[in-house]
Amino acid sequence: MNIGLLSAKRWAYWGLGAGLLGMLAACSTSHLVTHTVFETPTRYVRLAVDQTVSLKSKFSHPVAIPPDNMNALLAGLIVVEPVSLIPWPFQEERPSRHPLFSEEDIRFWSPLLTKALDVATPEELVTFYQADVISPVSRNVTSGALFVKDDHMYFILSNYRAPIQFMADVGMADTDDDRRNPLRFMAPQQTRLLFESEGVVASSQDEAYTVGMVPRERTVAIFFRQLRPRPMSPASDQLNSDIPSPQNSRPR
C-alpha cells in the first residue's frame, strides 16, 4: 500500500473538513442577535443584524404598523409546495397551495412582529423561528425574517417545515444552527411564497436587496400601506390567554 498516497488523502480530507468548519463559522458570525422580543424552546422573535442581507441603504425602522394591518399581511401570505409523489414519514396531508399561517398562528405572531418592528433600528431586521418537534431526534423548522424599506414590507421565508435531524450529547444542550440563524437555508426545498390580498401590490422581483442563499421565490415585497385592516374574529377565553406578550422591553 502506498503510504504517501494515504497521507495525501488524509490531508485532503482534513483540509476539506477545515474548510467546511470555516464556512460554518463564517455563517454563524454573520448573524448577530441584538435583542430578543420573545423566546421559548420552540419559538422566538428576535432583532438581529445579518450581513447576508444586502441593501442599498438602511431599513426604514422603527415603524409603527397597526395590529389589524399586520393580521392582514400575515393572512395574505401563501405557500405553494410541489406535489410529492412519495409521501414522507410524518408528513401532513395538505393542499399544495395553502396559507402560510393559520388563524391561531396569526394570533400568536402578529403582536410579536408588530412590537419588534416598532423598536427595531435602521440596522436591524426582525427574525422569527418555529420548530415543530416530530420525534426525539427530528423537528420541522419554519423560519425567516421581515423588514420595512420605504413603503414596502419584505417578508423572507428561509425555511418552511424543513426537516432537521439532531442528536444532542448526553448532558449537553442542543445548539444546532437552525436556532442560531433563522436566515440559514437549511434544506433544499422548492416551496414558493406568494402574497394575495385584494388591491395590494406585491412582488418577488426586487433587485434592491439580496438575502444570502435564500431563493427570490421565497421572498415577497408587499406595499403594506395598502393593506385593509383585518380584525381577528372573537376568540374564546382560552385562545385569548394563549396570545403571547413581548417578554423583553427596549427603551425607545
Please write the tens of the pLDDT for every residue from 230-244: 998 765 444 455 567
- What mean pLDDT is reported for the chain? 77
Q: Which residues pair with 149 in a beta bridge?
A: 152
- pLDDT(163) > 50: yes
pLDDT digits (tens, 9 = 90+) for 195-244: 988 777 777 655 556 666 677 788 999 999 989 999 987 654 444 555 67
Asked whether residue 27 is domain-assigned, the answer is no
60-to-110, 154, 213, 218, 227 alpha-carbon distances in Å? 19, 11, 23, 21, 18
Asked whether residue 13 is domain-assigned, the answer is no
Residue 64: strand, helix, or coil: coil
**Alpha carbon 252 to chain centroid distance?**
25
Asked whether residue 11 is domain-assigned, the answer is no
pLDDT of residue 14: 40
Q: Total structural domains in the chain?
A: 1
Q: Over range 85-114, report the average pLDDT.
A: 80
Asked whether residue 57 is domain-assigned, the answer is yes
Asked whether residue 15 is domain-assigned, the answer is no
Contacts 24+ apart (CB under 8 A), 174-177: 177/24, 177/27, 177/28
pTM score of the predicted model: 0.77
Q: Which of 47-56, 100-109, 134-143, 217-226 has the lowest mean pLDDT?
A: 47-56
Asked whether residue 5 is domain-assigned, the answer is no
Asked whether residue 231 is domain-assigned, the answer is yes
Asked whether residue 6 is domain-assigned, the answer is no
Query: Taking the CA of residue 124 as centre, how many other CA atoms within 13 Å lie in the half-sphere pointing to its CB?
Result: 21
> Domain range holding 144?
32-242
